[in-house]
């Protein structure tokens, strides 16, 4: 969770942030910095969050990132008229969620079906891009939004519209799912070796490797073009 006031002096003044031990340069756009220093639709006091139609939460503070999203829906037009949020997370996660809140509520609000179709790259495109290692930060926001929308569907007796997250087991021995491989790719692993370092998929079960390589290509293309 970020506090109401953020001191700009605690963040590097340069737009380039170089991780220790690597040759990578992380370039944060002015849009990203604006949404970090001046987050839109941020909740600072949860006691004020009343009368909302849907609440979604993903992640865990024990694991690092956690996010809550509240939405208000125009039931006549099936549009999201307001989205508020609160998060434990890095600057990229804060900026991505802030931008997402703008995307779904601007211009009279986004149709719910369109909001459900938002992909992480839609958010990063609006931010003017994120460092490869930080694209996974935008995933948390769209998942929390889907959770809030599903909560709205249940509360408004539209259970037939609830969207279930599809997860398929790829390697039963290592207990690795397609979702685990997707997360690894989003965190920067784009080769079989890199994915195996993160998940151990196929290490003791080499017959699944062709499928794993196919999934790596699919998710790399999906998120990075």
Cα 189–191–193 angle (5° rounding)? Answer: 95
Could you confirm whether 137 is annotated as catalytic?
Answer: yes
Q: Which of 62, 63, 106, 193 is catalytic?
A: 63
Q: Which of 104, 137, 149, 201 is catalytic?
A: 137
Cα 160–72–119 angle (5° rounding)? Answer: 65
- Distances from the Cα of 68 to the Cα of 78, 198, 199, angstroms: 21, 27, 27
The span from the CA of 225 to the CA of 219, in Å, is: 9
Could you confirm whether 90 is annotated as catalytic?
Answer: no
Measured between alpha carbons, how far apart are the two ends of the chain, in Å? 32
The span from the CA of 114 to the CA of 104, in Å, is: 9
Return the SS3 of 116: helix
What amino acid positions are annotated as catalytic residues? 63, 137
């Amino acid at each position: 969770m970020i506090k109401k006031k953020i001191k700009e002096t605690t963040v590097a003044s340069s737009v380039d942030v170089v991780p220790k031990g690597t040759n990578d340069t992380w370039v944060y756009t002015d849009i990203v910095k604006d949404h970090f220093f001046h987050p839109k639709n941020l909740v600072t006091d949860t006691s004020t969050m009343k009368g909302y139609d849907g609440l979604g939460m993903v992640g865990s503070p024990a694991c690092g990132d956690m996010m809550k999203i509240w939405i208000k829906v125009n039931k006549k037009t099936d549009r999201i008229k307001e989205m508020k949020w609160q998060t434990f997370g890095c600057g990229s996660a804060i900026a991505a969620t802030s931008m997402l809140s703008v995307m779904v509520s601007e211009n009279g609000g986004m149709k719910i079906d369109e909001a459900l179709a938002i992909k992480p790259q839609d958010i990063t495109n609006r931010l003017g891009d994120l460092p490869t290692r930080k694209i996974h930060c935008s995933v948390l926001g769209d998942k929390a939004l889907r959770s809030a929308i599903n909560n709205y569907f249940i509360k408004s007796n539209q259970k037939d519209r609830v969207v279930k997250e599809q997860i398929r087991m790829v390697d039963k021995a290592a207990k690795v799912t397609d979702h685990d491989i997707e997360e690894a790719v989003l965190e920067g692993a784009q080769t079989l070796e890199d994915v195996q370092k993160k998940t151990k998929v196929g290490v003791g079960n080499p017959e699944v490797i062709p499928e794993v390589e196919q999934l790596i290509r699919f998710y790399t293309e999906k998120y990075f073009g």
